[in-house]
Amino acid sequence: MTRTSATRIAVRASGGRDYEVVIGSGLLDHVGVEAREAAPGVRHWVVIADHTVDELYGDRVSRSFGASDVSVRRLTFPAGERHKTRDTWASLTDRLLDLAVGRDGGIVALGGGVAGDLAGFVAATYMRGIPVVQVPTSIVAMVDSAVGGKTGVDTPLGKNLVGAFHAPARVVVDPATVETLPRAQRSEGLAEAAKHGAIIDDGYAREIRLHAGALLDGRPSVVEPVVRRSIEIKAEVVSQDEREGGLREVLNFGHTLGHAFEAASDYRLPHGHAVAVGMVCEARLGESLGLTAPGTADELRTLLEALELPVAPPAGWDPASVLGFVQADKKVRDGKARVVLLECMGRVAPAAPGWAHPVAPNVMRELLDSA
């Protein structure tokens, strides 16, 4: 492809740090051009990826900078959510210092959601902030985590409890990388696309269900428009509310319980699976509170099952442990979890104020016990 044939979506960010998301098959070969255009003052680029993604794409992305007057180096870390920690952040930061990268440095965050969150947090904190170009290679990173500027690491008490908002200089999305993913990872990533349909666009949710087989097969002609629509939805939301003071809360649908299921499993439960279960449980919660139209949870279950996603907690799970992580969530206020609830498919039930409803621990425990 050529850069001129790529789709470009603008995202507004605070402090005049607006950026573009560029989408098109073959864009991995243009990462260097996009990075240099977005951050012309950077002289030393460092590509950060996990070991697996670096083997797949590290050489290709490094070559995309060409024989230029900037240096390009690579740092890697072990793959998996369990390595999205302060220790890994410290290791990467120390290695940047060893390389003598200064304020004229920049980061290319290459990979899935873990790499994007982790490398983005490195960029947010190194030398009090250097540019980062997000290059997502998984569906979940493309449609969700790479857009919006959230960065961070996990702690033993829960996910993303330490982090920062740090808008990327640019996001470069090459949907062709989805073809290299195992089917299970494509399924997992599509949970976030299903969430976008559930909260914003029920027609989009129906399209995802209709084309579920082709999406799971990784067919590029079907994957690319789905990725593009999800990015459009997320870009519209975060452009209105970058720092989650209002509308951006709707993007947390399924995540209050999803993050708790994930943490309680010691991250053995994949993120997309945890969010899928969280969405169904939170839809059931909304129905029990009279805020969600009856049948919404079943409609959501049907969509998620078409994507080969789980709709109930895994065997052997502990409601008390999950509740403990819910209560440690960073959105808890006055001892009550704050949960985004649907009004129906495609529409979120407004709260007063905002979009997240306070839920007392005993109500949450009853929901978990019944799950």
25 vs 7: CA distance, rounded Å: 10
Residue 241 confidence (pLDDT): 79
- Structure token digits, residue 136: 């997502």
Each as own residue / partner, the long-range contacts of residues 219-223 (CB below 8 Å, 24 or more positions apart, any chain) are 220/25, 220/175, 220/176, 220/178, 220/179, 223/139, 223/175, 223/178
Q: Which of 79, 12, 6 shows the shortest CA–CA distance to 237?
A: 12
Residue 298 confidence (pLDDT): 97
Residue 353 confidence (pLDDT): 83
Walk along the chain (371 residues) in steps of 10 and give the mean pLDDT of each run.
78 87 96 96 97 97 90 96 96 98 97 96 98 96 92 91 95 94 94 97 97 94 94 92 82 94 92 96 97 97 98 90 90 89 96 90 91 82
Ordered by where they begin, the domains of the chain are: 3-180 (3.40.50.1970), 183-370 (1.20.1090.10)
Residue 200 confidence (pLDDT): 96
Q: Which residues are catalytic?
A: 128, 150, 192, 234, 244, 248, 252, 255, 259, 271
The 3-state DSSP class for residue 23 equals: strand
Question: Do the Cβ atoms of 44 and 104 come closer than 8 Å?
Answer: yes
339 vs 252: CA distance, rounded Å: 8
353 phi/psi in degrees, rounded to 5 = -90, 175
347, containing H or E segment: strand 347-348
pTM listed for this prediction: 0.89
